[in-house]
Amino acid sequence: MNKTVLAAIIVVIAMLGATYLAVGSAGGMGGEGDWVNKLAVLGAVVLVIVTVFVVTKYVRQMQYDKASGKLADENWDGIGEYKNELPFGWAVIFLGLNIWAIWYFLAGYPVNAYSQIGEYNEEVAAHDAKFEEQHAGMDDETLKEMGGSIFIVQCAPCHGLQADGIEGKAANLNVRLEEKTVKHVINNGQGMLGYPAPMPDRNGLFNMNTGALITDAEIDAVAKYVAGGMKGTEGADVFAGTCAACHGVDGKGMEMVAPSVVDYNPTLVADVLKHGKKGAIGSMPAFNNLTEVQVKALGAYVTDLSK
């Protein structure tokens, strides 16, 4: 075989190999039948093959052909010009493409017949249809798994891959509450999770045991107690006297009254996602673009984290 053609084939194989490696590792990513992915790869392949072989064709002409033709009368700085005809293939393709373009524009895909938003709506509908059934009947384990994968994309930028809050930059979701958060809430009150009545600040928090407003020492004690998962005895009396009225004796919260302070639960997570959260650590935006299943999934995942 001719050396040039051989070289061309080697180049093509090398380039296609490189593409294959890229697509081989990224290939599964598109999911079955993502024709955008396929077309892009096909484009890359066509690009290499066509260029290499067309250029090879002309290189072979350099090697084996002879220049010929009728020279024009003019001559510029010693440069002559042949009056050769157009290369046939080029001329035919040029003409063909022009006709194709006119056809495409006027008849094939008339300019007003396509709408990218229409196409988007179809894409979304198809996507939703594909997952509708799966999403309807998910057990807790699957929800958790799904939640984990949403978490990495949507939440990890703040909470970190380990959900540890990246050294205090956001809430550490592996533990329910930290001392400084509890203190902050007691001192300032809080009312953003959508409960009918907000939690009052320290000027509204009576300790039934003492019959007086909560004191600094009591705040320290109860904060430690809550952050420690309501274990031990220190601060327990303050909690019982001050907080249990709303958060329940066991701290698990009461519907329509106050959230749990001992564990995460799907409702709490859903409330946070719906309203966002601003507190001692910083602020978290609301996530209203998530679907119902996604919220449920995140709820399952986050609940599981601190167990």
Of 92-100, 102-110, 128-136, 183-191, which segment contacts ligand HEC by CB under 6 A?
183-191
DSSP β-ladder status, 206-207 and 212-213: antiparallel
Cα 205 from Cα 190, distance rounded (Å): 12
> Which CB, 232 or 285, lies closer to ligand HEC?
285
Size of the site for ligand HEC (CB under 6 A): 48
Taking the mean position of all CA atoms in its chain, how far away is CA 44?
Answer: 26
138-177 positions binding another protein, by CB under 8 A: 142, 145-146, 149-150, 152-154, 156-158, 161, 166, 169-170
- Please report which helix (H) or strand (E) contains residue 302, including its range: helix 292-305
Cβ proximity of 147 and 242 under 8 Å: no
Least CB distance from residue 260 to another protein, whole Å? Answer: 25
* Least spacing, CB of residue 223 vs another protein, in Å: 21
Distance CA 202, CA 216 (A): 9
Side-chain half-sphere exposure of 229, counting CA atoms within 13 A:
8
DSSP state of 105: I
**How distant, in Å, are the alpha carbons of 115, 172, 252 from that of 178?**
52, 8, 16
Give the H/E segment covering residue 207.
strand 206-207
To ligand HEC, the closest distance from the beta carbon of 180 in angstroms equals 9
User: Is 136 near another protein (CB under 8 A)?
Assistant: no
Q: Is 92 exposed, middle or buried (0-12, 13-18, 19+ CB in 10 A)?
A: exposed
Out of 7, 109, 141, 208, name the contact with another protein by CB under 8 A: 109
Q: Which of 275, 293, 302 is nearest to 131 (CA)?
A: 293
Q: With CB under 8 A, what is the number of residues at the site for another protein?
A: 100
Q: Which of residues 249-288 bind ligand HEC (CB under 6 A)?
A: 258-259, 261, 264, 269, 272-273, 277, 279-285, 287
Q: Does 104 bind another protein (CB under 8 A)?
A: yes
Does position 221 interact with ligand HEC (CB under 6 A)? The reply is no
Identified binder of ligand HEC from the candidate list 23, 186, 262, 297, rule CB under 6 A: 186
CB of 192 to ligand HEC, least distance (A): 4
Which of another protein, ligand HEC, none has residue 195 at its interface (CB below 5 to 8 Å by kind)?
A: ligand HEC
User: What, of another protein, ligand HEC, none, does residue 99 touch, CB below 5 to 8 Å by kind?
Assistant: none
Using CB under 8 A as the binding rule, whether residue 54 contacts another protein is answered as yes
Distance (Å, whole) CA 275 – CA 284 = 9
85 binds another protein (CB under 8 A): yes
